[in-house]
Amino acid sequence: MMKAVQYANKGEDLKLVEVPIPKPGKDQVRIKIVACGICHSDTFGKYGIPGITYPRTPGHEVGGVIDQLGEGVTGFKVGDKVGVGWFGGHCGHCKACREDDWVCCTEGKVCGIHYDGGFAEYMVAPLDALARIPDNLPFEQAGPLMCAGITVFNSIRHQHIKVGSVVCILGIGGLGHLAIQFARRMGYEVVAHSSGADKEKLARDLGAHHYIDGSQPDAIQKLTAFSPKMIVATTPHAKTIESVIPTLAVGGKLLVLAAAQEPLSVSCLQLIGKKQSIGGWPSGDSRDSEETMRFAQINDVTPMIETFPLEKAPEALAKALNNKVRFRSVLVMKH
Ligand SMILES: [Zn+2]
Ligand SMILES: [Zn+2]
């Protein structure tokens, strides 16, 4: 038997339970979990999401060690350090998969939604969901890199913005504190934009070259002077995002990474006249996770985390939801 934290049903809160240790099937491995990050999406089990069945253990920022191989597994062995992020598997035959775009697979699986995730001592995962964790990267840092980290790293690197350009990171939270670090190390001139003067020191420590306090009346004027080639919106506030769109350079791009509840309102005339565009990006697959962790490790990108024992998962999730954690909560298992 093992400890796991799960949603017994839609509408219920997380509960600690004892369940049998799962066995890996064909082309699957069992992971002895060392750490698992907590994310806002871990509430999807409570509120329900298409494709979910119950009971369900959430957790898609998993770091651990393979401790059993299922039938037919090649390429991985017992003892390998692996992780699983949001991407939990792909079908291999849909249009997106045939275009090698696994994360947009129409039959794709999400770890912790379509099968049990990392809020447990063990889990089973399919081979295509596995990302190798670099030797010297601690498990508790690997987790957030496979969700918040991959989301900012993989989206920014696919925008083809020239190195040396000004990039503005809007918001300093779970995503933003990593986006500043990645963008700086990718070779951009980084402007951090957040609310309040108290965030300036943190922004600069993370690698921002400049800081703009968005609560000040001259904030838009200041950002316009930088005229960023790209604004990476990590805040879910539509009004804040709308307010900065006019500061983009000619050919500039707004990259939207956090889901604002309100729709964005934008001037088409401005987009046309200045050749600007708006885009989104959904994290990435297990191969991107490996590259995110590798880049982070060799370039000293470090998620700021607070750790909790597995038993404290409900409290840790509540703290994360109330923004009481700087910036990612991570569960650490005692085996
Ligand atoms: Zn997540
Ligand atoms: Zn597919």
Place of tokens 């503005």: 168
Question: How much distance in Å is there from the Cα of 193 to the middle of ligand 1?
Answer: 23
Instruction: State the distance from the centre of ligand 2 to the C-alpha of 129, rounded, in angstroms.
Output: 13
Return the ligand number nearest the Cα of 320: 1
- Per-residue pLDDT, 58: 97
What CA–CA distances, in Å, run from 93 to 89, 98, 314?
12, 6, 38
> How far, in Å, is the centroid of ligand 1 from the Cα of 275?
32
The end-to-end CA distance of the chain, in Å, is 12
Say whether pLDDT at 263 is over 90: yes
* Domain positions in the chain: 2-146+283-332, 159-280
Instruction: Report whether 3 contacts 311 (CB < 8 A).
Output: yes
Question: For 224-246, how does the pLDDT look when each residue is reduced to its tens digit (9 = 90+)?
Answer: 999 999 999 999 999 999 999 99
Report d(CA 210, CA 333) in Å as an integer: 39
- The average pLDDT across 27-40 equals 96
Q: Which residues contact 299 (CB under 8 A, 6 or more apart)?
A: 185
The pLDDT confidence band at residue 322, using thresholds 50, 70 and 90, is confident
**Whole-number pLDDT of residue 300:** 97
pLDDT of res. 324: 82
- For domain 159-280, the CATH architecture is 3-Layer(aba) Sandwich (3.40)
Mean pLDDT, all residues of the chain = 96
Listed residue (287, 295, 292, 257) closest to 90, CA to CA? 287
> Nearest bound ligand to CA 94?
2
**Angle 150-157/176-186 helices, nearest 10 degrees?**
40
| 2-146+283-332: CATH number | 3.90.180.10
Fold agreement between 2-146+283-332 and 159-280: no
Distance 201 CA to ligand 1 centre (A): 27
pLDDT band at 320 (very low <50, low <70, confident <90, very high): confident
Residue 139 preceded by cis peptide, ω within 30: no
User: Average pLDDT for residues 203-228, to the nearest whole number?
Assistant: 98
For the segment 169-185, the average pLDDT, to the nearest whole number, is 97
Is pLDDT of 261 > 90?
no
What pLDDT does 164 receive? 98
Rounded CA separation 143/133 (Å): 10
- Distance (Å, whole) CA 223 – CA 322: 29
Ligand nearest to the backbone CA of 93: 2
Ligand nearest to the CA of 151: 1
Q: Which ligand is nearest to the CA of 118?
A: 1
Ligand 2 ion local residues (Cβ < 5 A)? 90-91, 94, 97, 105
Strand bridging mode 253-256 / 277-280: parallel
CA distances from 249 to 104, 238, 246, 273, 274 (A): 30, 20, 8, 11, 7
- Any idea which ligand is nearest the CA of 289? 1
